[in-house]
Structure 1
């Protein structure tokens, strides 16, 4: 089937399946606000703003420039956002409008939970249909997704639904919800077991945001207290290893390979910035979406889990300096591991919130090398699954040497999008998605700099569950 035919057939089926009854609000022309100094450099383009509401209550928006180049970009936003977005940042939105792209995106249905994976794909496809009904059939439709939206994006790339021709993932949560909660639980459990041994700390099956917030306070206070002693710092490093937490924090120089104290201090810096608040708070919404706890640790040998971590030398060095027995702590963790997952929630996570089982269209994922919320090691996990499906040639991954979650420059984002278009134009990736080519393309844009580097992530630290 040709691309136009596939696109038309897919949209027809999607329209029938979802019974999309659009509730278009007033369509009006608007002029984008001027860029701030140092962003992209010129006044914003004139674009028509479209918006509407989908049957499940999700809203959508689209910006269509006067000189539309025929390509429609649909953007999938990250966790915690409750309004429609059509670009990862305002600077990127303005630049893409300058280049003639039409931009669209939905809010997803977040009425029940912020983890909207049950509705996100459906709402993004319905948004494509709604926009197409207004502006006509695009010559090409591309998907872009950021953070949780990177998982939505990977699922769209897996199915090709909505007539998607290619996809770009930005710091995507591509290992999926089950893996996410598994290694996060290992870290939370380590803090609770080793730093709060006589305290009852609820780690799963949160009934409310208040329960999750209480756990955040307990764990955060314990970490802050432990950081004051050598033994506490060693145990924090152990939890950070299970969390796949980078040892390079924002605003800091990267520690030397054998600077154990410096590495631990920067891991603690991430924790002090509120990582646990986001990790534990997010668990409430994901559990609510999946109908229960989707992670457990019963039967896990924590010595084996640590042995596979890139941070094992750091942990070992700090334990030796503190005069603590790492072996004893790991045995205690293994002996006390009694949390079991709800099989129905695990199945729901696999059904709604997983990716990598295959690709229908080319996908380029880019990731920062020191990401605290979605560790770059997730890309390894995802790539293994894509290769196992036989679709490895459709996937490319590239890395930006920078701290933080989704901290890409406009130039890095736009250059990556152009690399996806090169793959679609030529039928092959060639060198377009290599670090050197992406760096050169991003710098040539003359925008806000770039830091693409050759990089290969370590394996995700996650124990195999029985």
Structure 2
């Protein structure tokens, strides 16, 4: 047992003394500062913050009646002080804080280590928490799952929200498959990037969205968009141009499902194709090359493994367009493959390959209609954990909502509360079932929770580094 873990056993009252000490603003050495909270912070909290060794800002808000639990989030210090979730959690006694991604970006290994460094600064300023929980949304969810794997001696639990839990290598191979299929079948004669994304990622995104929108207006385009989305395991549900949810398609409604596939790719305020451009550019720059490959990939096999509703939609769209699906799959099989730069792969492996090595409890949370952190990636994470013999430490949950990280504050509070119960009792309870999480959501907000029973498809590009 590490010294960090031993320190967690001391009484919460010792930490509460540290909260009282924050009431008087004072500057401390080493880039730390305790003093007034930013404008808009919840009432009844005190704050501590500063910069880590690499220049990353960090900040924590600590309620005057602290329950001894601190939630550490990749993006906390860059969010508005009046974010509703902060108020909801501090009202319930949680200390909330963390860092920003402004310095690390897609240097995930550094971002993971920064969560431990920020917690250490918190302990120096406030005191030792009873429990420290790594959490966050999107890349923050990805980093919190990484923190659970890398720093189980420092953190007690993790609640990753909508993180790409196929791992860095796996999720970017999956995105390569989607964009490669689109380019090969629809845009082979256009200068739309797949890898080697240019510096002007906004223009690349605009060009891709325009091309996809043009293709969506034709039966052939709709058929091939549906095939690419099925290969890439995107949801058949999307958001409109304003970012509002469209109605969830009824089973068998091929037109609505295909429209949802298109919107996942190119619609809403955060389209899949936009992240496939901007984030890939960042990764390629940091890694010094392309870390993704499709050598040896059988796209006919990937299509065959798609969810039945998506396969039915693809077949119907192809029939309407008068296209031969088998011929298109043969075209994909014959297309020259993309190879990866081995050094770039090694870089991406550092941040991070999820190998299932868990020693602390983890509760994952994901929308079923998330176009960025696709639900099949959650399946990959769960498989890795069970394969390593650590399934008893993991629970996974899903919400019937569309878009990237589209949770209400109450739904997030519910997951944090359920994890707190797990830490307090030492066992999972009914609180982590959809009914239990919806009950906890109802206690935190007026609207009902949207947690549902859901079984994701098997991730088609698993990568476990072995």
Same fold by TM-score greater than 0.5: yes
Find the aligned partners of 2:355 and 2:451 in 1 and give their Cα distance. 24
Equivalences, count: 436
Find the aligned partners of 2:213 and 2:82 in 1 and give their Cα distance. 33
Using a 3 Å threshold, how does the CA distance of structure 1 residues 3 and 24 change in structure 2: closer, same or farther?
Answer: closer
Find the aligned partners of 2:321 and 2:195 in 1 and give their Cα distance. 31
Q: CA deviation at 1:7?
A: 4.8
Mapped pair 1:90 → 2:83:
yes
Q: CA deviation at 1:114?
A: 2.4
Which 4+ runs in 1 deviate beyond 6 A? 86-89, 463-466
- Structure 2 residue aligned with 1:148: 139
Q: CA deviation at 1:462?
A: 3.6
Q: CA deviation at 1:96?
A: 0.9
Which structure 2 residues correspond to residues 92-107 of structure 1 after superposition, within 5 A? 92-107=85-100
Is this contact kept in 2: 1:22–1:130, CA < 8 A?
no
Q: CA deviation at 1:8?
A: 7.3
- Structure 2 residue aligned with 1:232: 221
Describe the SS at the equivalent of 1:352.
Answer: coil
Find the aligned partners of 1:243 and 1:384 in 2 and give their Cα distance. 19
Specify every segment of 5 or more residues in structure 2 that has no aligned partner in the other structure, as ranges: 10-28, 240-244
Q: CA deviation at 1:424?
A: 1.2
Offset from partner CA, 1:132-172 (integer Å, 9 cap, x none):
11111112211112111112111111133462111111111
Which structure 2 residues correspond to residues 194-205 of structure 1 after superposition, within 5 A? 194-205=185-196
Describe the SS at the equivalent of 2:220.
Answer: helix
Q: CA deviation at 1:380?
A: 0.3
Is this contact kept in 2: 1:166–1:361, CA < 8 A?
yes
Offset from partner CA, 1:360-386 (integer Å, 9 cap, x none):
100000111110111111110110011
Find the aligned partners of 2:248 and 2:430 in 1 and give their Cα distance. 29
Offset from partner CA, 1:178-208 (integer Å, 9 cap, x none):
11111111111122111122234432133x4
2:180 maps to which of 189, 197, 204: 189
Using a 3 Å threshold, how does the CA distance of structure 1 residues 74 and 191 change in structure 2: closer, same or farther?
Answer: same
Is this contact kept in 2: 1:209–1:284, CA < 8 A?
yes
TM-score by length of 2: 0.87
Which structure 2 residues correspond to residues 445-460 of structure 1 after superposition, within 5 A? 445-460=444-459
Offset from partner CA, 1:48-103 (integer Å, 9 cap, x none):
121111111111111111112222211123xxxxx824799811100111111111
Is this contact kept in 2: 1:76–1:86, CA < 8 A?
no
1:139 maps to which of 130, 136, 145: 130
Using a 3 Å threshold, how does the CA distance of structure 1 residues 199 and 337 change in structure 2: closer, same or farther?
Answer: same
1:57 maps to which of 55, 58, 64: 55
Using a 3 Å threshold, how does the CA distance of structure 1 residues 384 and 265 change in structure 2: closer, same or farther?
Answer: same
Using a 3 Å threshold, how does the CA distance of structure 1 residues 3 and 422 change in structure 2: closer, same or farther?
Answer: farther
TM-score by length of 1: 0.87
Offset from partner CA, 1:7-55 (integer Å, 9 cap, x none):
579xxxxxxxxxxx82124x22348638xxxxxxxxx422112111111
Find the aligned partners of 1:299 and 1:256 in 2 and give their Cα distance. 35
Is this contact kept in 2: 1:106–1:124, CA < 8 A?
yes
Find the aligned partners of 2:366 and 2:230 in 1 and give their Cα distance. 19
- Structure 2 residue aligned with 1:126: 117
CA RMSD, Structure 1 to Structure 2 (Å):
2.5
Find the aligned partners of 1:155 and 1:402 in 2 and give their Cα distance. 25
1:73 maps to which of 71, 91, 97: 71
- Structure 1 residue aligned with 2:247: 253
